[in-house]
Amino acid sequence: MTAKRQAQGSRVKYLPIFLNLDGAQVLIVGGGEVALHKLAVLQRTGAEITVVAAQPLAQIAARAAHGGLRLVVREFVPEDLQDMRLVIVATSRPAVNRWIAGHCEARRIPVNVVDDREASRFIVPAIIDRDPVMIAVCTGGAAPVLARRLRERLEALMPQRLGELALWLGTLRGAARRLRGTATRRRYFEALLDGPAARRFVDGDRRGAFAAAARLLARAAHAPPAPGEVVLVGAGPGDPELLTLKALRALQDADVILYDRLVAEGVLELARRDALRLCVGKTAGRASMSQQAINAALVEHARRGRRVVRLKGGDPCVFGRGGEEMQALAAAGIAYSVVPGITAALGAAAYAGIPLTHRDHAHSVSFVTAHADHDGKEPDWRALAMPGQTAVFYMGLSRIEHIATQLLAHGAPPDRPASLILQGTTASQRVIVGSLRDIHGRSARAAAVSPALLIVGDVAALHAELGWFHNDAAAPLSASA
Element (H, E) at 452: strand 452-456
**3-state SS class at 134:** strand
Which positions are annotated as active-site residues? 260, 282
Contact 109, 86 (CB under 8 A): yes
Please state, in angstroms and rounded to a whole number, the distance separating the CA atoms of residues 300 and 307.
11
pLDDT at 481: 39
CATH topology of domain 229-342: Cobalt-precorrin-4 Transmethylase; domain 1 (3.40.1010)
Domains of the chain, residue spans: 25-124, 162-222, 229-342, 345-474
Cα–Cα distance between 174 and 155 in angstroms, integer? 31
Q: Count the helices and strands in the chain (H runs, E runs).
A: 19, 17
The pLDDT score that the predictor gives to residue 226 is 75
**Which CATH superfamily is 25-124 part of?**
NAD(P)-binding Rossmann-like Domain (3.40.50.720)
> Taking the C-alpha atoms of 303, 304, 310 and 311 in order, what is their torsion angle to the nearest 10 degrees?
170
> pLDDT of 337-367, one tens digit each?
999 999 999 999 999 999 999 999 999 999 9
Cβ 406 vs Cβ 440: under 8 Å: no
pLDDT-above-70 percentage for the chain: 93
Rounded Cα distance, 439 and 233, in Å: 33
Name 418's bridge partners.
Answer: 434, 456
Q: Name the CA radius of gyration of the chain, rounded.
A: 30
Instruction: Confirm whether pTM is higher than 0.75.
Output: no
Please list the pLDDT of the chain residue by residue as tens digits (481 residues).
344 444 445 577 888 889 999 999 999 999 999 999 999 989 989 999 999 999 999 999 999 998 889 999 999 999 999 999 999 999 999 999 999 999 999 999 999 999 898 999 998 888 888 889 989 898 887 888 898 899 999 888 888 899 999 999 999 999 998 888 888 888 899 899 989 999 999 999 999 999 999 999 998 888 777 789 999 999 999 999 999 999 999 999 999 999 998 898 899 999 988 899 999 976 554 557 899 999 999 999 999 989 999 999 999 999 989 999 999 999 999 999 999 999 999 999 999 999 999 999 999 999 998 776 566 688 999 999 999 999 999 988 889 999 999 999 999 999 999 999 999 999 999 999 999 999 999 999 999 988 899 999 999 999 999 999 975 444 445 443 3
What pLDDT does residue 282 have?
64
Q: What is the DSSP letter of 460?
A: G
Class of 162-222 in CATH:
mainly alpha
Backbone angles phi, psi at 39, to 5 degrees: -60, -40
- State the DSSP code for 236: B
Phi first, then psi, for residue 433 (nearest 5°) are -115, 145
Q: Are the C-beta atoms of residues 309 and 316 closer than 8 Å to each other?
A: no
- Distance in angstroms (rounded) separating the CA atoms of residues 291 and 391: 27
Superfamily (CATH H level) for 345-474:
Tetrapyrrole methylase, C-terminal domain (3.30.950.10)
Strand positions, DSSP E, 224-363: 229-234, 256-259, 276-279, 307-312, 335-339
CA distances to 37, 49, 85, 245 from 69, rounded to whole Å, are 14, 5, 15, 49
State how far the Cα of 417 lies from the Cα of 317, in Å rounded to an integer. Answer: 28
